[in-house]
Chain A
Amino acid sequence: MFEITTTRANPMVDPALHVWGWEIPVYLFLGGLVAGMMIISGYLLFRGGHRNVRSAALMLPGVSVAMLTAGMLALYLDLEHKPYFWRLYTSFEPLSPMSWGAWILALVYPALIANLLLRVPGRLARRWPWLAELSGRLVRHQLAVRVIGAANLFLGVLLGVYTGVLLSALGARPLWNSALLGPLFLVSGLSTAAAFVHIIAPDPLDKRLLARADNVFLASELMLIVLLIAGLLTATRAHIDAAAMLLGGAYGAAFWVLVVGLGIVVPLVIQTLAVSQRIRHTQVAPVLVLAGGLALRFVIVYAGQASRWPVAS
């Protein structure tokens, strides 16, 4: 026999760690979605998307600001010592991914607002004509547009990777202890963003381009998940046990059905058929991709917290 009894019963820690509820997966999902939209918007700007009034590039910054703010609100709700939130911005801790994230977010907002200025929404332009004038001046300068596009692309990649590194830096949780989480969350962010833009894009060319891109993102995501599991299964006992939680344990059903099945494989098949024009483009695949991206964050955050090193050595 091997039996452990403990007198410790701290809330959120025992019997299994559960410090992060719905707020963090939602924040990571929205952060990844915004990161993906920044990358897509930056790319479209590079291709001259700002000249096309129907381009999705011009819709994304406004949506991104709203979603990021909602994500930040979720993050704020998760904090236990809320009045001290501002302390994030009184220091920079180079070893802390969360500190990096706070400062990346501080740069993301100005980049999104600069992007937003390329096409000021009509109501704002009527209220503050100088904004429309500034926007006109910006759009005329190709270099300015490219700098804004590049800034959005670069910060989008940083934001997307950070959402994964935030977890992978916590070595005490074997499930998260993989450098692949950063790329996985980045690619998942890109795939959810492509799906979201596919739903809202008014231009059919954008729609087609994004459906094609989403197939690449989804296939890459599937490959990264396989590599993540393979990496865990070939590591220590703690990591093998962590992988088992996803493969057949408490989180197995959610992982296989919601994340892999409905979130990746089914939309990949639908979109492959749609791209090769065997069936029509519908909203089904993008909606599944978005739901799968959210499910991925929930499963990884919840299962990761429950994973642990063996109690005794």
Chain B
Amino acid sequence: MARFGMVIDTRTCVGCMDCVVACKTENDVPDGRCRDWIVQQTEGTMPELRLEIRSERCNHCDHPPCVDCCPTGASHIEDFGTTVQIDAKLCIGCKACLASCPYDARFIHVEGYADKCTFCLHRVRQGLDPACVAVCPTHCMSFGDLDDRISAVSRLVNARAHHALLPEAGTGPRIFFLT
């Protein structure tokens, strides 16, 4: 079974927000909400500063606490790509999943159910990349099966220095940032 993940090269990401706009357009994300976003992290002492720009979203964790805490099974692991998905018709809007996510990747849709990045599974099923990956003008984002040793994502993770977000939270995030 595939294990979809994403690799994002922070050396080529320019923070243009095309991925954010593409996601909102593709998934009809309501105004004022977003499934992916841009984070700019600056650290160091002038003039020795280091800037990292990251396109962030749900990490589709290996051990997703949002799935464990869901009282109705609305948050679940989809067989296709073992990604974390939400069935809006089962969601009661209790918000436990929002509180359980160390990445704060979820929000409440204007219609009342919990919402987040789906890795654009509807596109991936057709053999396409997620919308954010497809539109990236610097090609800094790659999507694929982390368990497939010859996939682009596996090769990048094996070849380049990288980090994930909050690995200490123990959720097994599947988005890796090349540094």
Using CB atoms and an 8 Å cutoff, list the residues of chain A in contact with chain B.
1-14, 17, 19-20, 78-82, 84-85, 87-88, 90-91, 93, 95-99, 101-102, 166, 169-173, 236, 305, 308-310, 312-313
Contact = CB atoms under 8 A, between A and B. Distances in A.
Interface in B17-40: 17, 20, 32-34, 37-40
Contacts of A85: 92
5 nearest A-B residue pairs (beta carbon):
A80-B93, A81-B93, A8-B37, A81-B112, A98-B71
A171 B100 contact: yes
B107 A91 contact: no
Contacts of A11: 32-33, 107-108
Given A12-B107, A13-B107, A305-B99, A313 B71 contact: no
B90 to A, nearest CB: 5
B45 interface: yes
Given A13-B106, A84-B92, A171-B65, A1 B169 contact: no
B94 interface: yes
B104 interface: yes
B41 interface: yes
A77 to B, nearest CB: 11
B34 A172 contact: no
Given A81-B113, A87-B90, A1 B45 contact: yes
A80 B168 contact: no
Contacts of B39: 4-8
A197 B93 CA distance: 35
B41 A4 contact: yes
